[in-house]
Amino acid sequence: MLLLYRNRGERRYGKAPLIPYRRGAWEFQFLFDGRCNLLLRKDESLHAERITVPTLVVSGPDCVHGWGGEPSDFCRSIIFHFDEAEYTVRTIVGNEGYRRIPLRAPFLPLIEQLYDRCGEARKTIGATPIEAQRSMGVLEPLIYRIVASELTLFFLKHIPRAQWGDPPNYGTTKVNEAMAWYEANLQKGPSIAEVAEAIHLSSSHLRRLFHKVRGISPQEAFTDVQFERAKWLMRDPEMTLEQISEHAGFGSGSAFSRAFKAEFQISPLAYRQRIQASPRK
């Protein structure tokens, strides 16, 4: 699990609104001391929800949302973006959904501590994608995972248990185990047979579970992991395409470029230029 972005401070979304866009990450945004509007794009129309603080907004990676408000509005916020979320959060929120919950108890000291703990991780595994990637597989970013788990527990305390959904079954558990092992060994470019052996299944059994749980083959799921890792690494302007290819398990820069363009109809270079010009919070 990787922390893609974090920030805290005062926001004046009324004077400087953030237009709705897809984050491509799981977002936890804590809002306090002020007012603002949550902007949601649904069915080609824009909806504004007035936020009463203190509030936590959790959104899925495909949720198209932004922030606005009245000219006099301001608020303080703490923001975390993660590349993945726990099963229960995914069940409650959904990839395209969001959940807005009022906070019932003093929470700022805890969230501030978690934010600062992420700073400790930056010192441990590196502040840039390339520094962090060098530690992957040797020193897992455990602090990020701990922080994400703490945020998940905090979120679930405010959600009725009846809305949590059913616990993951055997198939879901084994598929998640396969995904976690593949991601941890991504740089080695493991085969489906190697992943299956690592989690004590046959290749055919693993394929059946993936089709049952996710509706896709293991290779499709693993390729998605490769692309997501490559996209994250392309945030670092110091990394070459050859380095990105190696760390994302593509083998060579040319193979990565061909696969990326075939999947997204845009070259890695053009995509990199686009994300570097994208608005950030």
Domain boundaries, the chain: 3-163, 170-276
Q: Are 13 and 36 in contact (CB under 8 A)?
A: yes
Token pair 């301001």: residue = 74
| Tokens read off for 156 | 């679930």
Per-residue pLDDT of the chain (281 residues; tens, 9 = 90+): 678 889 999 999 999 999 999 888 899 999 988 899 999 987 778 899 999 889 999 999 989 999 999 999 989 999 999 888 888 888 888 777 899 998 876 788 889 999 988 877 666 555 454 555 555 443 445 678 788 889 999 998 888 877 776 666 788 888 988 998 898 888 888 999 999 999 999 999 999 999 998 999 999 999 999 998 898 888 888 888 899 998 899 988 899 999 999 999 999 999 988 887 765 54
Rounded (5°) CA angle 224-259-247: 65
Q: With the C-alpha atoms ordered 23, 156, 171, 1, is the resulting torsion angle positive or negative?
A: positive
Listed in sequence order, the residues at least 6 apart from 144 whose beta carbon sits closer than 8 Å to its beta carbon are 1, 2, 3, 82, 118, 121
Q: Are 79 and 29 in contact (CB under 8 A)?
A: yes
Rounded (5°) CA angle 58-62-64: 80
Rounded (5°) CA angle 62-65-71: 170
CA distance linking residue 81 with residue 121, whole number of Å: 15
Superfamily of domain 3-163: Jelly Rolls (2.60.120.10)
Superfamily of domain 170-276: Homeodomain-like (1.10.10.60)
